A and B are shown apart, each in its own frame.
Chain A
Amino acid sequence: MSDSPADLKYTKSHEWVRTLADGNVEIGITDHAQSALGDLVFVDVPEAGKSLKAGDAFAVVESVKAASDVYTPVAGTVVEGNANLGSQPELINSEPYKGGWIMRLKPGGAPAGLLSAAEYQAHLAAEG
């Protein structure tokens, strides 16, 4: 069973969302997603200032076997992309919920339709 901390929210497309103390949100991909992709070799992170709608692809994560889009469940403006991923994309594999965050976003509205950790685990179980 893959790890999914209880203090985060999740999407069915395997992103996680953390609300930060300053009201911004931090978004990354889940432990399950990184494990399915395998060793990451490149992450295309978004530029600060980019405005996103909910459901937009904001990053591309590339492993040796696939390149996949990452979608934001929350609309808003990009505060920063994780610059460390440029030289250490493997942070997403080693610590998906900490150093492997992909972007910080100033939300344009309240996140809606997100899953709790338990609901995400149930979704994973249903996906098989």
Chain B
Amino acid sequence: MPFIPHTPKDVNDMLQAIGARSIDDLFDEIPKELRIESLAGIPDALNEMQIGRLMSVRAAQDGTPLNFIGAGAYEHHIPSAVWAITSRGEFYSAYTPYQAEASQGTLQLIYEYQTMITSLTAMDVSNASLYDGGSAVAEAALMAVRAHRRSKSQRILVPTTLNPNYRKAAAATIAGQGLKLEEVPCPRGSLSVADLEKYRGEDITALVIQQPNFFGVLEDVDALTDFAHANNILVIASVNPTSLGILKPPGEWGTKGADIACGDCQPLGVPLSSGGPYAGFLTTKMENVRQMPGRIVGRTVDLDGQQGFALTLQAREQHIRRGKATSNICTNQGLLITAATIYLSLIGPEGLARIANECHARTQELVAALTRVKGVKLAFDKPRFHEAVLLLDRPVAPVIEALAARGIIGGCDLSGDYPELGNALLVCATETRTTADIKVYADALADTLKAAVRAA
């Protein structure tokens, strides 16, 4: 697109043509009292040198702590090639190009991404991605309501074992659209068919099952899926992609498989970056494909029979359907799924299985080491993936602070979201944690708890 500058004369000519005296006149519609000259608390602009200095100081404050927190975002090794390739100029945009078919390389990459995600989840189709794991649950719930034609209730069951941030994101997204998210308490750390019995025979649109769940525990996905389908409830799976290297994919849960599967791509080559940006994935069975929001890339042939890629099933998107579009999210996280696609292509299915096994083994080692510390016990002794809930004999927050002072991020304090669990700490170890790291944490935790006893 050529750059076209506006000279003051051009601006005046345009203003005169429409009968306005100044550019400010164009904003007459907005009442004076709603206009602000400046934002309180926002300082003046800094120049490049100043902002560079400020950011270096802030970055240094992060240090290089030893990280044992997961809770939805996971520290994994990212091969250098992932971002060396992703940050090439040809890929370096967050967006699908507006003239999409002119960018065959970008479309092919998205097509490869979709293929890998459907292969990982054993589902039929994937879209080109959403914002993150939370927005993916929200879109999956909206999609379930559109897809489940016999259910009129718009009731979506969300067990408390689903990531609380995903529950909040879903609640915020669907507020005002008439959907009802109903929390199912799971006091034993996982959702059981018994917890769902009271809904038998009721009109429920969908059930969300997270695997592994927020506590790291493996849900009995086969029994839950079969119960849901027997009761005319669609199943929305929220899954960790790393775990799919070894766990049964949602497309194979129970007799019929999950109806919609979603999750967060962050573990696939996306750095933690203080919480984002990440990318969400969303997949479904072919029968629901027209209810899927966002973009889908398809492979086709041109007039000469040559392979080409095209955006497909766009007719229900916002630029055509306006207010009746399947979703108001018609964008995707192009750059981050570029990283995820390159990550998956580099490590391959065997590599992913090895990483998943290593995460599980390191977490088992971590749990064993930490529960040997006096004042620490395990909350839910159940099969797990790479996280576990520990119960401390005192409030968690001061312990986490003391560990942070020793360069250790000790885990996620659950007392805010799960006060009923007591002094609960969610810990995680991925393949990046070594036996030596785990010993450092266990020793520091033992010291911290002892020191606190002495102080008391």
Residues of chain A having any CB pair with chain B under 8 Å: 41-42, 44, 47, 62-67, 69
Contacts and interface: CB of A to CB of B under 8 A. Distances in A.
B286 to A, nearest CB: 13
Given A42-B290, A47-B149, A63 B315 contact: yes
A64 B324 contact: no
Interface string B303-326: 000000000000110001100100
A41 B320 CA distance: 16
Given A44-B290, A47-B150, A65-B315, 14 more contacts: A41-B315, A42-B290, A62-B315, A62-B316, A63-B315, A64-B315, A65-B320, A66-B315, A66-B320, A67-B315, A67-B316, A67-B320, A67-B321, A69-B324
7 contacts: A47-B149, A47-B150, A62-B290, A63-B315, A65-B315, A65-B320, A67-B320
Interface in B45-59: none
Contacts of A42: 290
A27 to B, nearest CB: 19
A77 B324 CA distance: 23
Contacts of A41: 315
Contacts of A67: 315-316, 320-321
Contacts of B324: 69
B153 to A, nearest CB: 15
A42 B291 CA distance: 12
A44 B290 CA distance: 10
Contacts of B150: 47
A47 B149 CA distance: 8
A69 B322 CA distance: 12
Interface in B319-337: 320-321, 324
Contacts of B320: 65-67
Closest 4 CB pairs of A and B: A67-B315, A62-B315, A67-B316, A47-B149
A98 B265 CA distance: 49
A67 B291 CA distance: 13
Contacts of A62: 290, 315-316
Nearest to B326: A67
A10 B52 CA distance: 68
